[in-house]
Amino acid sequence: MPRLVKKFGGTSVADVQRIKAVAARVKRAVDAGHEVAVVVSAMAGATNQLVDYANAVNVLHDSSEHDVVVASGEQVTAGLLAMALQDLGVPARSWLGWQIPIRTDTAHSRARILDIDASDLDRAMHEGTVPVIAGFQGIAADGRVTTLGRGGSDTTAVALAAALKADRCDIYTDVDGVYTSDPRVVSRARKLRQITFEEMLEMASVGAKVLQTRSVELAMNHGVRVQVLSSFEDVPGTMVVSEEEIVEQALVSGVTYSRDEAKITLLRVADKPGVAAGIFGPLAEANINVDMIVQNISAEGDTTDLTFTVAKADLARAVALLEECRSSIGYGNVLSDANVVKVSVIGVGMRSHAGIAAQMFRALADKGINIQVITTSEIKVSVLIDEAYAELAARTLHTTYGLDAA
Amino acid sequence: MPRLVKKFGGTSVADVQRIKAVAARVKRAVDAGHEVAVVVSAMAGATNQLVDYANAVNVLHDSSEHDVVVASGEQVTAGLLAMALQDLGVPARSWLGWQIPIRTDTAHSRARILDIDASDLDRAMHEGTVPVIAGFQGIAADGRVTTLGRGGSDTTAVALAAALKADRCDIYTDVDGVYTSDPRVVSRARKLRQITFEEMLEMASVGAKVLQTRSVELAMNHGVRVQVLSSFEDVPGTMVVSEEEIVEQALVSGVTYSRDEAKITLLRVADKPGVAAGIFGPLAEANINVDMIVQNISAEGDTTDLTFTVAKADLARAVALLEECRSSIGYGNVLSDANVVKVSVIGVGMRSHAGIAAQMFRALADKGINIQVITTSEIKVSVLIDEAYAELAARTLHTTYGLDAA
């Protein structure tokens, strides 16, 4: 009997009517002969309300108490969905994180799952009961409630699918799958039938917020087949699978862009050992993440120019920090630019095909778009360009790599 | 170091500001040198919201899932109050029912506490941490969440006070104590400084909804001194104590009345063995509680008249049921009257003083109030009278027994 884990996000269980619709959808899967376990998020808005309470009570709140408060949201949905399933004649029972148990480390509010004892759930499924599991939560070794961070219910679902040896993990959300690009910008973007774990990870890291990154890592490590699909329509979504499963591999699977970038350039940095540590050490200590880094050899010989990007929200803080450290670092001048965008092309096909990057640079040059910074990974090429060209670049590259819908 | 358990009800923790006020009050007790544990209810309105969700999803809901849903309310308050205490520099930590654990039977939604392992709480208090316990909830032997019924947080507090060997259990509520009568009706009612457990039990059973009945039983059985006092004012409340502790015992401690009564009379019931079972059996099966019962010997010899009271909400159903069973019971006619009220005087002093009941009947007769039914217990006399005289009767008896405020 095929075994499925189905996860429903906050908008899918936003009110009583939607919870009933979810129950009906689960019943259809059960009636079709599947063994089903369900993972639920909190009702849309519930988590924000709870976080607001916590912030109002004590801004510097204890993260273990924060977890006690916010975990209650998923608890409510789990109980309600179990009732809704029973109402349709489907045997069902709720499980909270500590009841299973889903054991995590003690890093409250961003805990990692260490181990899941799925034996009770497994037994229930064998007996024809649908377990409804509160997502996002676990229990630490000291018996306290933990939560897994934003999007943590995705991770709960994938981890349970691995522990239950499920044939597939369906993630129901408010989009109906993973697209070749953002359909709001690239009108000819189309839904991908399949995408590899690696591509999905790169997509997530460059701004396509479909799945929590950790859930994709977990799926990749445990070989869990994941499907992303819509809660509101009954159409197939996008399968996230291992590379071997992809039959016709396109060279490029997606074009993404992120406006959340700002560029900083340090001019005439002394070209000597330890200077990079002198620059990036203070930034790391201030919790400022640095993304792209490029170092140019300066014409003057003994100095170099260094360019890197930070999140737009961190720009002012980063520049102030660098100016404070000017004498200790030793550089001539600092320039910054918030009007930039990072455009990326992603595809596992790059591994075997040279020339993808060159094709990208040529296509952008043909449109008169200047490239400011370039970084590459095994399956991704990213360029930083003037923000004004974001949409033009995305559409151009979408066409260049043959991704446009017919 | 005196050890206190303090319980705060839903109106006391209704919003963030009130939660902060509760934290400040707990801090004052800690600063005064007390070891304090706190029990909290859900924020006012939260439980009703959760119950509404459950009813909307599935009217015939599974009570174990109902408990999962509604127990989340107290979970939220416990976490928030722990944060609020920490914000004031008071070391604090939340505990949920299953974390302590508070073990109960499996009667979901009205579970009884079987056992509390207070060792973790005890250790925390010794170390100077204030435990904040989610009231109303426990864990059954099968590991599922249970709840203790309406007002169950009172019972949690008293049970914990017993387990922690606390010197006192303070129940903070929206009234500032137990009164000799309802101050909205009897303007000269006054707050009692002390009341015995037995009197408190009788008060609760006749409609003074200050404490959950079970919490009073538990306090009596374990000798827990309970104080009922206001969350909003800083004045002493009413101490609920054992009879031996009361120094000056009044004959009567309180006059209560309940409008939730309706009278049924069966005329010309065959006066033979088994007839009472024939009448009250079907009512019990239909879950209709019968309160006062009086049987009069009929003038005609072989038949009798039988009068009893039921809750007003059950009257129509009870009469319909009795008419269905007319031939099997065997009676002449059924009369009913919803315009009645039960007035009671309560006091442990009755045990040693005869004449309390006679004094009551005389006082009511002097005002021209006709008594329809009388029942008595060891420390209570109740009469059923025409509803129109409810306030007059309460005020008259309040004066008769010397309860009026100076």
User: Do residues A64 and A139 touch, judged by C-beta distance below 8 A?
Assistant: no
Measure A400 CA to nearest chain B CA, in Å: 51
Q: Which residues contact B107 (CB under 8 A, 6 or more apart)?
A: B146
Q: Do A58 and B83 touch (CB under 8 A)?
A: yes
**Domains along chain B with CATH numbers:** 3-174 (3.40.1160.10), 262-337 (3.30.70.260), 340-400 (3.30.2130.10)
Q: How far is CA A131 from CA A83, A153, B133, B288, in A?
A: 12, 15, 28, 37
Asked if residue B72 has pLDDT above 60, the reply is yes
More confident residue, B398 or B405: B398
Residue A179 marked ligand-binding = yes
Q: If interface means Cβ-Cβ distance under 8 Å, which residues of chain A face chain B?
A: 16, 19-20, 50, 53-54, 56-58, 60-62, 64-69, 71-73, 75-76, 78-80, 82-84, 86-87, 93-94, 96, 98-99, 143-145
Q: Do B57 and A80 touch (CB under 8 A)?
A: yes
Residue B8 marked ligand-binding = yes
Average pLDDT of B257-268?
91
User: Do residues B145 and B137 touch, judged by C-beta distance below 8 A?
Assistant: yes
Asked if residue B209 has pLDDT above 90, the reply is no
User: What distance in Å separates the CA atoms of residue A150 and residue A42, rounded to the nearest whole number?
Assistant: 11
Query: Which residues of chain B neighbour A50 with C-beta distances below 8 Å?
Result: 76
Which residue in B has a C-alpha nearest to residue A94's C-alpha? B65
What pLDDT, on a 0 to 100 scale, did the predictor assign at position A397? 95
Asked if residue B190 has pLDDT above 70, the reply is yes
Indicate the pLDDT class of residue B155, thresholds 50, 70 and 90: very high
What pLDDT, on a 0 to 100 scale, did the predictor assign at position A50? 95
User: What distance in Å separates the CA atoms of residue B220 and residue B213, rounded to the nearest whole number?
Assistant: 11
Q: Do B65 and A94 touch (CB under 8 A)?
A: yes
User: What distance in Å separates the CA atoms of residue A188 and residue A398, rounded to the nearest whole number?
Assistant: 8
Smallest CA-to-CA distance from A8 within A64, A68, A85, A91 is with A85
Q: Do A72 and B75 touch (CB under 8 A)?
A: yes
* The residue count for chain A: 406
SS3 (DSSP) at B173 = strand
Residue B7 marked ligand-binding = yes
Measure A143 CA to nearest chain B CA, in Å: 7
Measure A401 CA to nearest chain B CA, in Å: 49
Residue A8 marked ligand-binding = yes
User: Do residues B228 and B178 touch, judged by C-beta distance below 8 A?
Assistant: yes
Please list, residue by residue across A298-307, b when 16 or more beta carbons sit within 10 angstroms of its beta carbon and e when fewer do: beeeebbbbb
Residue type, position A290, single letter: V
What pLDDT, on a 0 to 100 scale, did the predictor assign at position A212? 83
SS3 (DSSP) at A43 = coil
CA dihedral A213, A219, A220, A223 (to 10 degrees): -170
User: What distance in Å separates the CA atoms of residue A75 and residue A137, rounded to the nearest whole number?
Assistant: 9
Could you give the maximum distance between any two Cα atoms of chain A, in Å?
79
User: What distance in Å separates the CA atoms of residue A173 and residue A351, rounded to the nearest whole number?
Assistant: 31
What pLDDT, on a 0 to 100 scale, did the predictor assign at position B183? 86
Residue A167 marked ligand-binding = no
Smallest CA-to-CA distance from A64 within A151, A137, A152 is with A137
Minimal Cβ distance to A86: which of B58, B84, B87: B58
When scoring A49, A66, A80, A88 by the number of chain B Cβ atoms within 10 A, the one with the most, hence best to mutate, is: A80
Minimal Cβ distance to B79: which of A68, A80, A93: A68
B47: its two tokens:
């439980």
Write the pLDDT tens digit of every residue in A12-42.
999 999 999 999 999 999 999 999 999 999 9
User: Do residues B173 and B212 touch, judged by C-beta distance below 8 A?
Assistant: no
In sequence order, what are the beta bridge partners of B308? B264, B293
A406: its two tokens:
């017919």
Mean pLDDT of chain A: 91
Write the pLDDT tens digit of every residue in A357-367.
889 999 999 99
Smallest CA-to-CA distance from A265 within A322, A195, A345 is with A322
Average pLDDT of A69-76?
97
User: Do residues A308 and A264 touch, judged by C-beta distance below 8 A?
Assistant: yes
Backbone angles phi, psi at A306, to 5 degrees: -125, 125
Q: Which residues contact B47 (CB under 8 A, 6 or more apart)?
A: B10, B41, B70, B73
Write the pLDDT tens digit of every residue in A116-144.
999 999 999 999 999 999 999 999 999 99
Q: Do A72 and B76 touch (CB under 8 A)?
A: yes
What pLDDT, on a 0 to 100 scale, did the predictor assign at position B297? 66
Q: How far is CA A151 from CA A13, A74, A76, B39, in A?
A: 15, 12, 17, 32
Give the helix ranges, DSSP H, for A335-404: 356-366, 390-400
Q: How many CA atoms lie within 13 A of A139 on its CB side?
A: 17
Average pLDDT of B36-47?
96
A221: its two tokens:
């490590």
Backbone angles phi, psi at B309, to 5 degrees: -120, 150
Write the pLDDT tens digit of every residue in A223-236.
999 999 998 888 99
Measure B120 CA to nearest chain A CA, in Å: 12
